[in-house]
Structure 1
Amino acid sequence: MKRMYPNLCKSIKLGDVTFKNRMFSAPMGGTDITADCTIGPRSTAFYELRAKGGAAAVTVSEVVVHPETDGSHMFHLDLETAGSLAGFTYTADAIRRHGAIPSVELSHSGQYAGTYLADKNRQGRMDQWGPSDGVRPDGKAVKALSIGQIEDIIEAYGRTASLAKRAGFEMVMVHGGHGWLINQFLSPYFNKRQDKYGGCLENRVRMAAEVLQSVRRAVGNGFPIEFRMSGSELLEGGYDLEEGVRIAQQLEPYIDLLHVSAGTYQSGFGITHPSMFMPHGCNVYMAEKIKKHVNVPVATVGGLNDPEMMEEIIASGKADVVAMARGLLADHELPKKVMTNRDKDILKCLRCFTCMSERADTTTRRCTINPLIGRETDGMEILPAPEKHRVLIAGGGPAGLFAAITAAKRGHEVILCEKEGTLGGILRGEQGIPFKYEMYDLGVTLEKLARDAGVDIRLNTSVTGEYADEIGADVIIAAVGSEPLIPPIPGIDGDNVIIVNDYHLEREKVSDHVAVLGGGLAGCEMAVHFALEGKTVHLIEMLEELAPDANKRHRPLLLEEIRKQNVHVHIGHKGLEIQPGGVLCENASGEKTLVPGTTVVCALGQRPKRNIVEPLLDCAPIVYQVGDCVRASNITNAIYQGFHAALDA
């Protein structure tokens, strides 16, 4: 078989272990960490899904090696806690039975203990330990670890690695990046010690080296050790890439794979986990630079989801392995699709941070475009329907398309009607915004998958009560979506006004001076887009805050982008009238002011198309209502509801 991406599909040997391809599943936190920090069955299934999808290695995220000084609510692996060793054993077995190599990440949060706790009050009561005495930017005191504590932590890394091997894991990753404890020792920003663990680079590297030696003694020769580091902290006062090269050179004698990430806790979440505002592969240059100066294989990570880009990374020698986390949440079968030349079927990560915000909010997992994530044990398999039905789907947006694909896979006769001439629904509007283009591309991919599944797609076809009766469907899935809210203010129908949903059709009308009416998620992202194009942008919001509908991981990055791009923000301003020169507004004090903009983009939200849904409710024995036509919400809910309606059909 001739593979489209031969370098990605090539095996690699690390230590005495052979990995079937170059696509590794990077560490991701589990979904049901128990009260005593053991792995629950949902987490086992969560990691197994990546193995089923064809990843060569699957790394279980952050096992805390020394709970005495790191109170984070992450996995523990010990012999004292009932179920701890067993949970890891079941997980390693679940990964390995699909041909993937099970790995586990050994970690210590240092002065950021408790980061993943939902209860921030409890986090505030914890002692925070680091290389040096100090005060974090949030005012929390940090205590310096004693030599005795450091030695105990080093020993704990080895002890935990030994237990991981005993449980059936065939590789370990030592986390030395992102501002966690080992990175804090490596960093001149954090490490102000004057003893053998601080000062010169050799001393700052000492703890990492001793940890790796402890792990090697515990697991023996031939057992692969992966070290994760930040190539550069990208932080004033931290180490840069040149020093990152020297750190890598000093540590390479002790490892089999060097995993090069970027950034630190202080440099920002959108750096350690590249946001949609950053280019894909933005951190690859660090791995490329370091690889030129070391002899061990190098892995790269950070916003990777395109096989063509990843193939080039391996083929050109920039790295030997590509690691993905969010990319394999969005499509756990990405490696399998690459291996079988089905790259056009890959559902690419949107970098929307639903996965990370859900982890922070509820300590579970969820993915916008993969309804299986976090629910792998909930009977989500797409099984053949015992009785075949004629399923009529009204609406070709994300909810309707996902429902159609799922119903067709179950063997139903599926007819999907879309009143427009193209599919994708609200996703169509994203093609005009470069940093959101993957949302538009999602619609394109879903259409391909629907056609491949045999869905009868009828464009320019509205589903009315009469049409539904004519079809004679056994099941109707109403997924007609929402429509933009357009306030009845003077001037809203002027030639200088563009409704946000129609922007992709009217881009040429936008002048160099834009007023965006509506400071929710959609309006804020439009404002950033126009500012990136070099336009002067004014953003108008009636409430006192911007983007309250954005998730808690994306929102801070979005607001920072608004600040960086010099968007002029007007909160507490109610739009009264749209004039040729802008929007006449009233502020909280009752004063009227004209916010300038020769083009006005209206982004005031969406409302369900209930007028289309109501006539369909009695047109089939079973009628499901999914997505925005029920309540204007988000793609996550639309896809999840569409998927389940099809499972129930």
Structure 2
Amino acid sequence: MKRKFPNLSSPITIGRTTFRNRLFSAPMGGTDITNDGCIGPKSVAFYELRAKGGAAAVTVSECMVHPQTDGSHAYHLDEKILNSLACATYTADAIYRHGAVPSLELSHSGMFAGTYMTDREKQQQLHQWGPCDSVRADGVRVKALTKELITKIVASYGHVAGLAKRAGFEMVMIHGGHGWLINQFLSPLFNHREDEYGGSLENRCRFAIEVLQSVREAVGPDFPIEFRMSGSEFVEDGYGIEEGIRIAQMIEPYVDIIHVSAGTYQKTFGITHPSMFEAHGRNVYLAAEIKKHVSKPVATIGGLNDPEQMEEIIASGKADIIYMGRALLADPFLPRKMKEGREDEIVKCLRCFTCMAERAATSTRRCAVNPLIGREIEGDEVRPVMQPKKVLVAGGGPGGLYAAYTAARRGHEVILCEKENELGGILKSEQALPFKREMYELSQTYRKLAENAGVTIRMQTEVTPEYVEKEAPDALIIAVGSSPVCPPIKGIDAEHVIQVTKLYQHRKSISDDVIILGGGLAGCECAVHLGREGKNVSIVEMRKNLAPDANVRYRPLLMQEIERYAKVYSGYTGIEITNDGIWCQNPAGEQVLVPGKNVICALGQKSNTEVVESLRDTALYVRVIGDASKVATITQAVYQGYHAALDI
């Protein structure tokens, strides 16, 4: 059979292990980790779904090899812990039964021990160990590992690798990047030792090589060992790609796959996990450079989700293997869809960091575009109903589309009505921002999924009480969205004032001097886009802080972009808009003019409550979702749409 993506679809054999394609599931930590470090049932289902979705290998993360010096609340594999091996075995089995290779990532946090602990007070009480005595940026003291402790940690890597093999894992990944302990030894940023483990690159690589030798002795000659490294650290006093190549060459004799990532912990988050402000595959060049100097297979990673781009990476020889993390949260079935030529059905990752923010804030997993994530144990298949009903969905935004798609999969007769001539709701506005293109395209993907499931879509059709009476549905899902907040500021109706949600309709008419009125998430992202176009951008925000509605992982990256591209007037209240700019009251109570020729109004949204109230009692089953219920996020809209449909 001729495949559309023949290189991505082709198997690769490493040692005696054959991987069914070139798409691997990157290490992602689970959530229900027991107090003694066992893998919980929710996490087993989490990893299993990636195997079911067609990934060739699924990496379970992170297993901390030496709890005595690394107290992180992560997985531990220890025959002394009741159920430790059993939980690991069930996890490996769950991955293997779907034809994927189960892999376990072996780690040591070193000076960042306790990073994943939910008990922050206990985290601060941990002893931190690293290559040398130092003080972390947050003031925590770090003690140098003695040679005796180094020897014990090296032995623990081998011991845990042997247990992983016994439990049924068929590969191990040694984490040597991102600022974890092995990287701390490799990096001149962290390693200032004066013995045989510091100084020259040969000495700095000694610990990594000893670890790999220990692992090889434990697992035998034909068991695949993968080494994850940062091709470049992208920080001052760290190493760059030139030294990254030499590190790869030095560890090559001891590994089977060289997995090239990027960056270092706490300093390069938006590079290690490329944000929407970065190009897809922005780190691929690191793998491509290293591949020129080694003979072992090389893996690459970093914001990749497009089969066309990934096919080219393999075809051109930049890498042999593609790893995906967030992309397989958004769509765990991406590999299967790729292999079956259904790439237009792939729900692409938005790189919004909802997944990582939720893990940091609530110790749960969540994806903005996939309501299954974190709840895989409930099953990934929508069960058909015994008695199909007629379902009417009012509104074609992300929540309405996902509700319609889900209801149709259950076997209901579903009609979705959108009063405008384009689906997407507020997502239509995102087409103005190149770095949010995937958010705009999401509605088109949801539309295809809905239509494939049997949904009838009626455009330019407003749902009124009379329309509901005419259609006589058994269930009505109200997803009529929100409208811009437009306060009574003098001049706000002028021609040169544009609502941020309508920016895409006025892109060619925006002057070079622009004021964004409102420093929330939408206003800040608009400012970044216009600043990148070379315009002079000012943000007027009455609150002290910008974008308080942005999540904890995304906001720092957004603020970095704001520093580059916009001038900020925080604590300024708009009083009057004129042709010369906006007259504001500053924090001192003075009236001042913020100059600009165009004003983009980004003062938030309000629910379309009147429409909701007119429809609330028009059917036996009525559910209000998304912004129509409460202005929030895509995440809330999609989750509410999914569950509203399941309840019918």
Q: 5 Å matches for 1:577-616?
A: 577-616=576-615
Q: 5 Å matches for 1:523-534?
A: 523-534=523-534
Question: Which amino acid counterpart does residue 615 of structure 1 have in structure 2?
Answer: S
Question: Which amino acid counterpart does residue 61 of structure 2 have in structure 1?
Answer: S
Question: Which amino acid counterpart does residue 150 of structure 2 have in structure 1?
Answer: I
1:445 counterpart = 2:449: no
How far is the alpha carbon of 1:582 from its aligned partner?
1.0
Corresponding residue of 2:321: 321
Question: Which amino acid counterpart does residue 290 of structure 2 have in structure 1?
Answer: I
Question: Which amino acid counterpart does residue 72 of structure 2 have in structure 1?
Answer: S
- Whole-Å separation in 2 of the counterparts to 1:521 and 1:477: 27
Q: 5 Å matches for 1:297-446?
A: 297-379=297-379, 381-446=381-446
- Whole-Å separation in 2 of the counterparts to 1:39 and 1:137: 31
How far is the alpha carbon of 1:121 from its aligned partner?
2.7
Question: Which amino acid counterpart does residue 578 of structure 2 have in structure 1?
Answer: Q
How far is the alpha carbon of 1:123 from its aligned partner?
1.9
Q: TM-score, length-normalised on structure 1?
A: 0.99
Deviation larger for 620-629 or 449-458: 449-458
Q: Deviations over 1:299-337 (max 9, x none)?
A: 000000000000000000000000000000000000000
Q: Deviations over 1:241-277 (max 9, x none)?
A: 0111010001011111000000111432111111111
Q: 5 Å matches for 1:468-487?
A: 468-487=468-487
Question: Which amino acid counterpart does residue 617 of structure 2 have in structure 1?
Answer: D
- Whole-Å separation in 2 of the counterparts to 1:335 and 1:314: 15
Q: Contact (CA 8 Å) 2:234, 2:268: kept in 1 or not?
A: no
- Whole-Å separation in 2 of the counterparts to 1:380 and 1:615: 35
Q: Contact (CA 8 Å) 2:178, 2:262: kept in 1 or not?
A: yes
- Whole-Å separation in 2 of the counterparts to 1:169 and 1:411: 39
Corresponding residue of 2:114: 114
**Paired residue secondary structure (2:352):** coil
Cα 1:50–1:588 shift into 2, 3 Å: same
Deviation larger for 403-412 or 120-129: 120-129
Gaps of 5+ in 2: none
**Paired residue secondary structure (1:265):** coil
Q: Contact (CA 8 Å) 1:330, 1:349: kept in 2 or not?
A: yes
Corresponding residue of 1:629: 628
How far is the alpha carbon of 1:213 from its aligned partner?
0.6
- Whole-Å separation in 1 of the counterparts to 2:50 and 2:483: 37
Q: Contact (CA 8 Å) 1:31, 1:46: kept in 2 or not?
A: no
1:459 counterpart = 2:459: yes
Q: Deviations over 1:595-639 (max 9, x none)?
A: 111100011111111111112122111001111100000000100
Q: Deviations over 1:69-98 (max 9, x none)?
A: 111111111012112111111100000000
- Whole-Å separation in 2 of the counterparts to 1:484 and 1:113: 45
- Whole-Å separation in 1 of the counterparts to 2:399 and 2:76: 39
Q: Contact (CA 8 Å) 2:388, 2:413: kept in 1 or not?
A: yes
Corresponding residue of 2:124: 124
- Whole-Å separation in 1 of the counterparts to 2:398 and 2:220: 50
1:57 counterpart = 2:57: yes
- Whole-Å separation in 2 of the counterparts to 1:13 and 1:358: 37
Question: Which amino acid counterpart does residue 243 of structure 1 have in structure 2?
Answer: E
- Whole-Å separation in 2 of the counterparts to 1:229 and 1:549: 34
Equivalences, count: 648
How far is the alpha carbon of 1:164 from its aligned partner?
0.6
- Whole-Å separation in 2 of the counterparts to 1:562 and 1:398: 28
**Paired residue secondary structure (2:78):** coil
Corresponding residue of 2:265: 265
Deviation larger for 473-482 or 372-381: 372-381
How far is the alpha carbon of 1:380 from its aligned partner?
5.4
How far is the alpha carbon of 1:57 from its aligned partner?
0.3
Q: Deviations over 1:198-217 (max 9, x none)?
A: 11111100100010010011
Question: Which amino acid counterpart does residue 571 of structure 1 have in structure 2?
Answer: S
How far is the alpha carbon of 1:589 from its aligned partner?
1.9
1:135 counterpart = 2:132: no
**Paired residue secondary structure (2:376):** coil
Corresponding residue of 1:84: 84
- Whole-Å separation in 2 of the counterparts to 1:122 and 1:568: 41
Corresponding residue of 2:189: 189
Corresponding residue of 1:519: 519
Q: Contact (CA 8 Å) 1:235, 1:266: kept in 2 or not?
A: no
Question: Which amino acid counterpart does residue 421 of structure 1 have in structure 2?
Answer: N
Corresponding residue of 2:235: 235
Corresponding residue of 1:644: 643
Q: Deviations over 1:367-409 (max 9, x none)?
A: 0001000011235530111110000000000000001111111
Q: Deviations over 1:397-445 (max 9, x none)?
A: 0000001111111111100000000101111110110110110011111
- Whole-Å separation in 1 of the counterparts to 2:381 and 2:583: 54
- Whole-Å separation in 2 of the counterparts to 1:581 and 1:79: 73
**Paired residue secondary structure (1:504):** helix
Question: Which amino acid counterpart does residue 407 of structure 2 have in structure 1?
Answer: A
Corresponding residue of 1:17: 17
- Whole-Å separation in 2 of the counterparts to 1:84 and 1:483: 52
RMSD: 0.9
Q: Contact (CA 8 Å) 1:233, 1:267: kept in 2 or not?
A: no
- Whole-Å separation in 1 of the counterparts to 2:203 and 2:587: 58
- Whole-Å separation in 2 of the counterparts to 1:296 and 1:638: 45
**Paired residue secondary structure (2:568):** strand
- Whole-Å separation in 1 of the counterparts to 2:606 and 2:147: 61
- Whole-Å separation in 2 of the counterparts to 1:582 and 1:15: 67
Corresponding residue of 1:34: 34
**Paired residue secondary structure (2:205):** helix
Gaps of 5+ in 1: none
1:164 counterpart = 2:135: no
Q: Contact (CA 8 Å) 1:110, 1:181: kept in 2 or not?
A: yes
Q: Contact (CA 8 Å) 1:486, 1:604: kept in 2 or not?
A: yes
- Whole-Å separation in 2 of the counterparts to 1:328 and 1:570: 39
- Whole-Å separation in 2 of the counterparts to 1:609 and 1:227: 53
Q: Contact (CA 8 Å) 2:53, 2:335: kept in 1 or not?
A: yes
Q: TM-score, length-normalised on structure 2?
A: 0.99
How far is the alpha carbon of 1:452 from its aligned partner?
1.7
Question: Which amino acid counterpart does residue 511 of structure 2 have in structure 1?
Answer: S
- Whole-Å separation in 1 of the counterparts to 2:56 and 2:166: 21
Deviation larger for 363-372 or 504-513: 504-513
Question: Which amino acid counterpart does residue 243 of structure 2 have in structure 1?
Answer: E
Question: Which amino acid counterpart does residue 624 of structure 1 have in structure 2?
Answer: R
Corresponding residue of 2:73: 73
- Whole-Å separation in 1 of the counterparts to 2:405 and 2:74: 36
- Whole-Å separation in 2 of the counterparts to 1:117 and 1:505: 47
**Paired residue secondary structure (2:61):** strand
Corresponding residue of 1:572: 571
- Whole-Å separation in 1 of the counterparts to 2:513 and 2:126: 50
How far is the alpha carbon of 1:291 from its aligned partner?
0.3
- Whole-Å separation in 1 of the counterparts to 2:379 and 2:257: 37
**Paired residue secondary structure (1:377):** helix
Q: Contact (CA 8 Å) 1:118, 1:361: kept in 2 or not?
A: no
Question: Which amino acid counterpart does residue 270 of structure 1 have in structure 2?
Answer: G
Corresponding residue of 1:220: 220
Q: Contact (CA 8 Å) 2:418, 2:460: kept in 1 or not?
A: yes
